[in-house]
Chain A
Amino acid sequence: MEGRDVSGRSPRPTVVVVGHGMVGQRFVEELAARGVTARARVVVLAEESRPAYDRVHLTSWFGGTSAEELSLVPDGFLEEHGVELRLEDPASAIDRAARTVTTRSGAVVGYTTLVLATGSAPFVPPLPGREADGCFVYRTLDDVEAIRDAAARARTGLVVGGGLLGLEAAGALRDLGLTTHVVEFSPRLMALQVDEGGGGALRRTVEKLGLVVHTGVGGQEITVDARGAVEGVVLSDGSRVETDLVVFSAGIRPRDELARAAGLAVGARGGVAVDEHCRTSDPDVLAIGECAAASDGVVYGLVAPGYAMAATAADLVAGRAGRPFHGADTSTKLKLLGVDVASFGDAHGRTEGALDVVYADSRAGVYKKLVVGADGTLLGGVLVGDAESYGLLRPLTGSVPPAPPEQLVLPAGLTPATALGPAALPDDAVVCSCHHVTKGAIVAAVADEGRASVAEVRACTGAGSGCGSCVRAVGQLVDAELAAGGIAVDNGLCGCFAQTRQELFEIVASLRLTSHRALLDAHGRPEARGGEGCEVCKPTVGSIIASLAPAIGADGHVLAGEQAALQDTNDHFLANLQKNGSYSIVPRIPGGEITPEKLIVIGEVARDFGLYTKITGGQRIDMFGARVDQLPAIWARLVEAGFESGHAYGKALRTVKSCVGSTWCRYGVQDSVRMAIDLELRYRGLRAPHKLKSAVSGCARECAEAMSKDFGIIATAGGWDLYVGGNGGASPRHAESLARDLSDAELVRLIDRFLMFYVRTADRLERTSVWLERIGGGLEHVRDVVVHDSLGICDELEAQMAAHVAAYRDEWARTLEDPEKLARFVSFVNAPGTPDPSVRFVPERDQHKPDLTVLAGPTLPVRTLEGSNPS
């Protein structure tokens, strides 16, 4: 088939898609949704070695999101729809007369319709030295891999370009530990999106994060050392920045070279010229996404307009009357370096007679501007540092808002009670701009079609499934509509309980209930009473009882009595279940401080039991691959050496990281190790709605990364600053300051109160970061409660924590003391001495990993009881 034109004789029409980026993939999905893949052959020619992936979230790759997780092609999608994807075989020429495309490998593919989705290429300004070793662009997974590898050998990085992508790249370099410079030719950052005031607020926040910002200057020359590697950049003002690597992120250029060579018309500033149905000057050739110049002459560098063009083009191929693409709303909302930035409509006030309404708080890094017409029409705006209202303001653009504009820019706490809600939007306001879903469509989905949740509304309208910035507004609309229809919104914990976790906590605490069964039979939903409960309420109630154990007179051990039946398997076996059914073990290493003797014990235990070892992110050592029946023997060795459980398996305090602090470090101002150990030992074993992480840094350099923890402590010359609500992981969030310059005793008292208030009021599996954003009044409310005791409950919170601290016992040691509990640690109840044959390993990098081939088949190779007892 390769090297020959097959389509001329083929009875099936053929759609050839050139490019498999986000828009190319979306186009193929739109074809499949319209049934085109069932009747036409679809061939996709891709340049990269990977199928389409999410370029918008490329930066998250540095944060641990894998290339597989970024993939946009659902498993089995291509096979199911018979789409032929040719990776690393891009189109090299188009022959419009013969209606064929030639690929780099020499294959010739005939087409009925050709769709160009070649995307764009990063613009690299023509600086001398731009090809040197150490120069990169920021566009593909290969690019970010190369940047990471180079960063491992570098100390300083410089990004050319202070726009959206440039700041993303700068954030990535900073997170890789480099001193990072940003060079932007315009007088401000993100010049395209924000105005001078917004750029200023953004700059201050970015500089606070440690980035060095140079605006109003360009790069002039890249200087290289004797080996041809980057050594510095000379700027247009004559100054020079020493740097080990340079990332160009100074804009994009549409990749229209194939189209040009084929004689297709191109736009004035590049891009394949298309009409409102995405047709090029040859009606059998379409172009979509960043390679196209839309009918308004604009090359759209955002994904939402690309997706809209994909839908328009798919309509055309399917022979439907589709929605023409005349141009797009370039409103954006994003989080850059932890800062919310949004701009919408006429953000720069270019409309004749436009007026500004501005709110600025330089201290908090907040800048909000609305552009309003003379008649009060909202024309656009810029939001930096607080873009909460974006989901409401953008849909109001073009109309006269129902509240005066000055009220719309005030922060939430200062807004009068008449504040604008999504209910105030007109029905034709577009709430989801990615999928063009109006408020009317969302309301109709709830009122007329009976959809009762954001997920259901998303499934039927598409609202919220694009960039996600409207999800909050959609949720408010759904709730308001449900309430208007007299439908109660069910906030119950699960199918067994109509109460929230917080309500159950209050019931357990006030009635001193010590069993799930008693709670379920007396307070469960009527249909669930007398039943088993479920996998949601059992661990939740188990956690509440454990948190309150000493105060309500329950046995604090998680395996005592009925408690044993409530715990998830991790808590049940006091270890972490891994994918092949084995467990991992993490002994507590308070503050990350450990003696050589104890390190040796860990090494010996791991060696003797054949465990894979890895250092965790929390300054501990994880030992993997233990069978259930090995756990007690492993703990016995560890307990004997003075270790105890690290609660890595529990929704409990995990670890309090520390830097080395004032005892060794020449910059340290307080003994951070001592404080970390004290805090870890104080709160160890505390059961909470979710895991809790902490860290203590000995100075403002913040080497312990306390700002990414549920509660983080940073030393000052005068004591300790306490930050709360930080998070790493999938939704990173910087912790916020709760109180400053605390003494040791003040610090501990405040953390006692904060943690107990969280344990008491958070939802199941709600980290402190989400809890702080959810509860009414946010951080200010929490500060009122735990610092100013506005609810008068601080004595109670402190007493509950004191009871926990006094009652703490190591769970491993207690289990080892109890033969009844130990009896559960067997692989098989009918063959207690037999190890589980499905837990097997294969070598990897001088250690081993789970042998997944054992798990692959429907049955294990036959291994009888008689023949399988090596132990």
Chain B
Amino acid sequence: MTTALAPLTRSHPAPSPLLEIGHAGAWVPVCAPGALVPGRGVAVLLPDGEQAAVFVDRHGDAHAVGNRDPFTGAYVISRGLLGSAGAERRPFVASPLLKQRFDLATGVCLDAPDDPALALPVHPVRLR
């Protein structure tokens, strides 16, 4: 899931915006959007013990998917590199362990698009 964090400027200093992701019917606060480095991710601990990976791309759009790499079981997706592919420049993250790519909008593993067991869960993202 993707949301535009427009604009990433400091013109509204008063109530500093907070990035939140949706999980199990509730919104979970993550951090100020400015704390994210474009092209990299952070891990988020969810209230039920699950983990999410949150990324922001060079255009300021934020994306949130599950942090567990379905190929290895390790909770490392947040440490993968962001990229974009195809004519639509769809953003993806590459697992840092074995380099499989996952579409950030759908969570689908681009190396195994037909296997739902290898897709990442996707979380909605909002700014508040």
| Residues of A near any B CB (own CB < 8 A) | 495-496, 517, 527-528, 530-535, 538-539, 562, 564-566, 568-569, 572-573, 577, 579-581, 823-824, 827-831, 834, 836-838, 852, 854-865, 868
Contact with A along B73-89 (1 / 0, CB 8 A): 11110011111111101
Tell me if B43 is interfacial: C-beta within 8 Å of chain A: yes
A831 surroundings in chain B (CB, below 8 A): 45
CA distance A864 to B46 in the complex (A): 8
Q: Is B49 within 8 A of A837, CB to CB?
A: yes
- A532, B89: Cβ atoms closer than 8 Å: yes
Q: Which of A568, A857, A868 sits near B81, CB closer than 8 Å? A: A568
Q: Is the beta-carbon distance between A532 and B74 smaller than 8 angstroms?
A: no
**B residues less than 8 Å from A827 (CB atoms):** 43, 45
Q: Decide: B45 and A569 in contact? CB cutoff 8 A.
A: no
Contact check, A855 vs B94: say whether CB atoms are below 8 A apart. Answer: no
The 3 A-B pairs at the shortest CB distance, nearest first, are namely A855-B73, A565-B39, A534-B83
Residue from the set B47, B58, B72 with the largest chain A CB neighbour count within 10 Å: B58
Contact of A532 among B49, B79, B83 (CB under 8 A): B83
Given contacts A532-B39, A566-B39, contact A830 B30 (CB under 8 A): yes
Docked complex Cα distance between A827 and B80 (Å): 14
- Chain B interface residue count, Cβ-Cβ cutoff 8 angstroms: 43
Taking a contact as CB atoms under 8 Å apart, the answer to whether B57 and A532 are in contact is yes
Listed A/B pairs (8) with beta-carbon separation below 8 Å:
A517-B58, A527-B86, A528-B84, A534-B84, A565-B40, A827-B45, A828-B44, A838-B75
| Known A538-B39, A579-B74: A533·B28 in contact at CB below 8 Å | no
Check B106 for interface membership: any CB of A closer than 8 A: no
On whether the beta carbons of B80 and A569 are closer than 8 Å, the reply is yes
Interface residues of B in 1-34 (CB under 8 A from A): 28-31
The reply to whether A569 and B31 contact each other, CB–CB distance below 8 Å, is no
B91 contacts the other chain (Cβ, under 8 Å)?
yes
Cβ A579 vs Cβ B97 within 8 A: yes
Tell me if B37 counts as interface (CB < 8 A to partner A).
yes
Neighbouring A residues of B45 by C-beta, 8 Å: 827-828, 830-831, 834, 865
Give the nearest-CB partner of A858 in chain B.
Answer: B68
Say whether B49 contacts A864, CB under 8 Å. Answer: yes
Q: Which residues of B contact A569 (CB under 8 A)?
A: 76, 79-81, 96
Separation of A531 and B86 alpha carbons in the complex (Å): 10
Q: Given the complex of chains A and B, what is the CA–CA distance between A334 and B48 in angstroms? A: 57
B124 at the interface (CB under 8 A from A): no
The reply to whether B49 and A862 contact each other, CB–CB distance below 8 Å, is: yes
Docked complex Cα distance between A569 and B75 (Å) = 13
Partner among A564, A862, A863 whose Cβ is within 8 Å of the Cβ of B40 = A564
Q: How far is the CA of A828 from the CA of B28 in the complex (A)?
A: 13
Q: A532-B57, A565-B40, A568-B81 are in contact. List 12 more A-B contacts (CB 8 A).
A: A532-B84, A532-B89, A534-B81, A535-B81, A538-B81, A539-B81, A572-B40, A579-B97, A580-B74, A828-B51, A830-B30, A859-B49
Cβ contact within 8 Å between B74 and A581: yes
Q: Is B42 an interface residue, CB under 8 A from the partner?
A: yes
Q: Are A535 and B38 within 8 A (Cβ)?
A: no
Binding site for A on B (CB under 8 A): 28-31, 35, 37-40, 42-45, 47-51, 54, 57-58, 68, 72-76, 79-87, 89, 91, 94, 96-97, 99, 101
Cα–Cα, bound, A856→B74 (Å):
9
In the bound complex, CA of A581 to CA of B71 (Å): 13
- A836 adjacent to B81 (CB under 8 Å): no
How close is B74's CB to chain A, nearest CB, in angstroms?
4
Which of A538, A573, A823 contacts B83, CB < 8 Å?
A: A538
User: How many A-B Cβ pairs are below 8 Å?
Assistant: 127
A859 x B50 contact (CB < 8 A): yes
B96 CB to nearest chain A CB (Å):
4
Q: How far is the CA of A496 from the CA of B82 in the complex (A)?
A: 13
Whether A830 and B28, one on each chain, are in contact in the complex, defined by CB atoms closer than 8 angstroms, is yes
- Residues of chain A within 8 A of B72, CB atoms compared: 579, 855
Rounded to whole Å, the gap between the CB of A165 and the closest CB of chain B is 36
Contacts of B38 in A (CB 8 A): 565
- Whether B94 contacts A534 by the Cβ 8 Å rule is yes
CB distance B31 to A830 under 8 Å?
Answer: yes
How close is A366's CB to chain B, nearest CB, in angstroms?
40
Alpha-carbon distance A496/B83, docked complex (angstroms): 10
Which chain A residues lie closer than 8 Å to B94 at the CB level?
A: 534-535
- The 8 Å CB contact of A862, one of B29, B48, B87, B101, is B48
CA distance A613 to B80 in the complex (A): 26
User: Assuming the A-B contacts A579-B97, A827-B43, A863-B49, are A532 and B82 also in contact, with contact meaning beta carbons closer than 8 angstroms in the complex?
Assistant: yes
| Docked pose: A865 CA to B87 CA in angstroms | 41
Check A856–B73 contact: CB distance below 8 A. yes
A531-B89, A534-B83, A539-B81 given; A855·B48 CB < 8 A: no
Return A570 CB to nearest CB of chain B, in Å: 8
Minimum Cβ distance to chain A for residue B71 (Å): 11
User: Taking the nearest CB of chain B, how far is it from the CB of A701, in angstroms?
Assistant: 41
A815 CB → nearest B CB, Å: 14
What separation, in Å, do the CA atoms of A857 and B85 have in the docked complex?
31
Q: How far is the CB of A713 from chain B (nearest CB, A)?
A: 35
The complex places the Cα of A573 from the Cα of B76 at a distance, in Å, of 13
Looking at the assembled complex, report how far the CB atom of A563 sits from the nearest CB atom of chain B, in whole angstroms.
10
Provide the residues of chain B in CB contact with A565, threshold 8 Å: 37-40, 82
Partner of A829, one of B44, B48, B50, B68: B44
Complex contact B49–A830 (CB within 8 A): no
Chain B residues positioned under 8 Å from A517 (CB to CB) = 58
The distance in angstroms between the C-alpha atoms of A838 and B99, with both chains bound, is 20
A residues in contact with B91, CB < 8 Å? 532
CA distance A496 to B97 in the complex (A): 22
Chain A residues, Cβ within 8 Å of B49: 837, 859-864, 868
In the complex, the chain A residue whose C-beta lies closest to that of B121 is A858
A496 to B58, CA, bound (A): 15
Chain B residue at minimum C-beta to C-beta distance from A854: B73
B79 touches A577 (CB 8 A): yes
- Assembly CA distance A863 to B94 (angstroms): 27
What residues on B are CB-neighbors of A580 within 8 Å?
74
Residue on B with the closest CB to A829?
A: B42
Q: State the CA gap A855–B69 with chains docked (Å).
A: 9
- Structural contact, A572 and B47, CB atoms closer than 8 A: no
In the assembled complex, the Cα of A564 lies from the Cα of B44 at a distance in Å of 20
